[in-house]
Structure 1
Amino acid sequence: MSFGNMNIPRKDDMDREDEEENIYANADPINGSDVRTETENSQTPQHTGTGIVRNRSPRAALVCVVLLCVVLLTAVIVLCVHIKTKSTNYTEETHQQQTKINNLTEERDELLTRNMQLTKERDGLSSSNLDLIKDRDQLKKEKNDLSETLRVKDGWLYHKSSLYFLSTEKRNWTESRRYCTERGADLIVINNREEQGFVQKKYPNDKVWIGVTDSDVEGTWKWVDGSALNSGFWASGEPNGGIDGDCAVNYDTVFADYPCNNAFKWICEKVILK
């Protein structure tokens, strides 16, 4: 058998390996110590960085808290200013509204006072109106009663606001007037053309005594109620009776003077409503 190709360790080599193993064996504790020392030395910077991080973290947190407090304080201040502004505006609006309410209250009180015054005046007017209505109704009743009485008794005629008696017999002026005054009336006083037309229609062809004379002052013609006679009622050329013609008659649509002792028909008038 041939071993030429095999590598057989030599004794020298084996001895050298044993020595190296012994050397490594003896050196292990030292190497381990060195390794730990190196490891610790290599890790020292890491531990030191962690410490720095740990030392910086509370400061950053404190800064954040301070910043947060500042933000919150700013927000609180802004909110307080806003609330104060709103409160001020609200107070001003409330004051304005209260002023308006006070003004409206005063106006309401004035209106109520005025309304009470008007109510009193109305009540007073109502009372006055009631009195007037009563007086009017009473006067109307009296007029109707008087009208009916005169109409039934002597044939009086109601026209406009007066009662008229139209005679059918003839008397002189003085007796004619006496007949009227004994019945609470007087000879007719013609105040306008309409009333003269009324007389003319009742006596179209007769001369009728009317209540006008100048017996007190010659040439000064007055009605029996004291008022002056309008010259426009006279006929052309009238009055022309002179001293004897002191009384007047209505004939057709004009007046004429005649002696008061002449006998003519007459008209009495009693004014009901003035």
Structure 2
Amino acid sequence: MMLVWVLVLTALLASDVAGANNSTEPEETLQNLGCHRRCRSHWHYYHPTRSCYRFFHQKLRWGCAEHHCRCVGRHGHLASSRSYCENAFISRVIWLGHGGRQTAWIGLNDKCCEGHYKWIDGSAYRYSRFACGEPNNLHNEDCVETNFRRAGLWNDKSCRSRRRYVCSYRL
């Protein structure tokens, strides 16, 4: 039964890739969730960035979630999403971590300067997947959650809100 859900989710995300970009080039297809001998138990390996990812069920404020990521991963951070495929991979990590379509913190924020988003790990902000009408900074929202309205879409949210979260660390 779990295999059926994985296949259904993969098909939905793959069709979303083709629909969003009107292309099905190989670099835009989904990467398989995998294990890597250097990733810790319950972490998933993403080959293009040579990083390990994990979904955490505990609901924390954005800053506390980032602190937890630094403690549990080898100098880890809240996950960064630098491409459509990586974003889809993160949604799959949440899904397979039994989060389903739960919203979860990622490492994007505009805490320093409104409207100027930065990834907490310092990687370049070149890819965006905000839902329609977002970011809207409603009530001073400076942190970003994923899986808003549907898998992989982002929303700005108050950093004081409690959310589940995804951590990552590079090998």
User: 2:53, 2:167 within 8 Å by CA — same for their partners in 1?
Assistant: yes
Aligned AA for 1:253?
G
User: 2:69, 2:167 within 8 Å by CA — same for their partners in 1?
Assistant: yes
1:226 aligns with 2:122: yes
- For residues 235 and 227 of structure 1, the distance between their equivalents in structure 2, rounded to whole angstroms, comes to 22
Larger radius of gyration: 1
- Which of 167, 190, 204 does residue 56 from structure 2 map onto? 167
Equivalences, count: 124
Aligned AA for 1:198?
F
Structure 1 gap segments, 5+ residues each: 1-142
Query: How far off its partner does 1:225 sit?
Result: 2.5
Q: Which runs of 4 or more aligned residues in structure 1 lie more than 4 Å from their structure 2 counterparts after TM superposition? A: none
Matching residue of 1:64: none
Aligned AA for 1:185?
G
- For residues 188 and 271 of structure 1, the distance between their equivalents in structure 2, rounded to whole angstroms, comes to 10
Structure 2 gap segments, 5+ residues each: 1-35, 95-99
Matching residue of 1:189: 80
TM-score normalised by the chain length of structure 1: 0.42
Query: How far off its partner does 1:231 sit?
Result: 6.0
- For residues 83 and 122 of structure 2, the distance between their equivalents in structure 1, rounded to whole angstroms, comes to 16
Percent identical pairs in the alignment equals: 26
- For residues 69 and 128 of structure 2, the distance between their equivalents in structure 1, rounded to whole angstroms, comes to 26
Aligned AA for 1:205?
R
SS in 2 for 1:167: strand
Query: How far off its partner does 1:157 sit?
Result: 2.3
- For residues 56 and 93 of structure 2, the distance between their equivalents in structure 1, rounded to whole angstroms, comes to 10
1:244 aligns with 2:130: no
Change (3 A) 1:232 1:188: closer
Matching residue of 1:208: 104
Report 1 or 2 for greater relative contact order, CA contacts < 8 Å, sequence distance ≥ 6.
2
Change (3 A) 1:162 1:267: same
- For residues 254 and 215 of structure 1, the distance between their equivalents in structure 2, rounded to whole angstroms, comes to 20
TM-score normalised by the chain length of structure 2: 0.66
Matching residue of 2:25: none
**RMSD value, Cα:** 1.9
User: As a proportion of its length, which structure holds more strand?
Assistant: 2
User: 2:104, 2:166 within 8 Å by CA — same for their partners in 1?
Assistant: yes
Q: Could you report, residue by residue, the CA deviation over 1:108-156 in whole angstroms, capped at 9, with x for unpaired residues?
A: xxxxxxxxxxxxxxxxxxxxxxxxxxxxxxxxxxx83x42xx31xxx32
User: 1:221, 1:228 within 8 Å by CA — same for their partners in 2?
Assistant: no
